[in-house]
């Protein structure tokens, strides 16, 4: 357990699987009170059995009322909010430019970007009042190295980066810091939504969710005077 983080409060959105789940577990292991958010109730309650420091909160990040309720619950443990991790994200099989329908485009942006905007608007007044805090947005290495993850996915992750940068510039005098975490290929459930399965020999060299969680832990342990604007983390053998 890390004394620096003991009894601090974290809000992890997208915690029912993959990077978000691993992050919630690791932060709790290091002493943080973690509110774990997702839509899948059974997954969240299973996660909460792993640590008494993890409190499940079922909600939809694309719904403003849900987000406000989630943030209120996250602050209830200690009266403050030290770390927010937006790890919610999705993709679709039919992701090529001429395959994406307007409805699917809006669905992708709602989950990957609008939810982050709603979360940011909800937490910033709290962070201002307490004198600061850190927001980590899980984007993608595709922001710097375009790939075939699809136009909606990449547009949303670029938008997430813009949201993080603009928030940081507007709010830095209030002690609010933002970091864009940019993972490369990671062995998570989202890979099942690829049009064709990822070859096993490629998956063997992919990141694990625990690797991304370790990067979040590193960011959380930095002192308020230090800022990492963006942090790529990629598979060493695939980059």
pTM over the 0.75 mark: yes
- Cα–Cα distance between 140 and 154 in angstroms, integer? 8
Q: Give the model's confidence band at 149: pLDDT under 50 very low, under 70 low, under 90 confident, else very high.
A: confident
Of the candidates 117, 194, 118, 196, the residue with the CA atom closest to the CA atom of residue 163: 117
Q: Give the model's confidence band at 2: pLDDT under 50 very low, under 70 low, under 90 confident, else very high.
A: low
Residue 1 has pLDDT above 70, yes or no: no
Q: Give the model's confidence band at 177: pLDDT under 50 very low, under 70 low, under 90 confident, else very high.
A: very high
pLDDT at position 191 is: 80
Of the candidates 194, 180, 233, the residue with the CA atom closest to the CA atom of residue 210: 233
Determine what percent of the chain is predicted with pLDDT higher than 70.
Answer: 99
Mean pLDDT across the chain, nearest whole number? 94
Paired tokens of 143: 């922001």
SS3 48: helix
Size of the chain, expressed as the number of residues it contains: 239
pLDDT at position 194 is: 80
pLDDT at position 77 is: 79
- Cα–Cα distance between 212 and 153 in angstroms, integer? 19
Domain 9-233, what fold? Rossmann fold (3.40.50)
pLDDT at position 15 is: 96
- Cα–Cα distance between 231 and 184 in angstroms, integer? 11
- Cα–Cα distance between 8 and 31 in angstroms, integer? 7
Task: Concatenate the DSSP letters of all residues of 152-167 into one string.
Answer: HHHHHHHHHHHHHHHH
Catalytic amino acids? 153
């Amino acid at each position: 357990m890390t004394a620096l983080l003991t009894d601090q409060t974290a809000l992890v959105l997208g915690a029912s699987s993959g990077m978000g789940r691993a992050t919630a577990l690791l932060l709790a292991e290091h002493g943080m009170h973690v509110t774990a958010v997702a839509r899948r109730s059974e997954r969240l309650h299973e996660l909460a059995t792993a640590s008494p420091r993890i409190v499940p909160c079922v909600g939809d990040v694309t719904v403003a009322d849900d987000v406000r309720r989630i943030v209120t619950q996250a602050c209830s443990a200690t009266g403050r909010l030290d770390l927010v991790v937006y790890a919610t994200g999705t993709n679709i099989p039919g992701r090529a430019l001429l395959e994406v329908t307007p409805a699917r485009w809006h669905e992708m942006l709602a989950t990957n970007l609008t939810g982050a905007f709603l979360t940011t608007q909800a937490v910033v007044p709290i962070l201002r009042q307490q004198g600061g805090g850190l927001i980590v947005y899980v984007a993608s290495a595709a922001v710097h190295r375009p790939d075939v993850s699809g136009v909606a996915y990449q547009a949303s992750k670029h938008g997430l980066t813009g949201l993080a940068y603009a928030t940081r510039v507007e709010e830095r005098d209030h002690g609010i810091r933002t970091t864009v975490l940019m993972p490369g290929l990671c062995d998570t459930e989202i890979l099942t939504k690829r049009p064709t399965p990822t070859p096993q020999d490629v998956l063997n060299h992919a990141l694990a969710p625990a690797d991304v969680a370790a990067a979040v832990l590193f960011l959380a342990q930095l002192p308020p005077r230090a800022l990492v604007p963006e942090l790529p983390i990629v598979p060493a053998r695939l980059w």
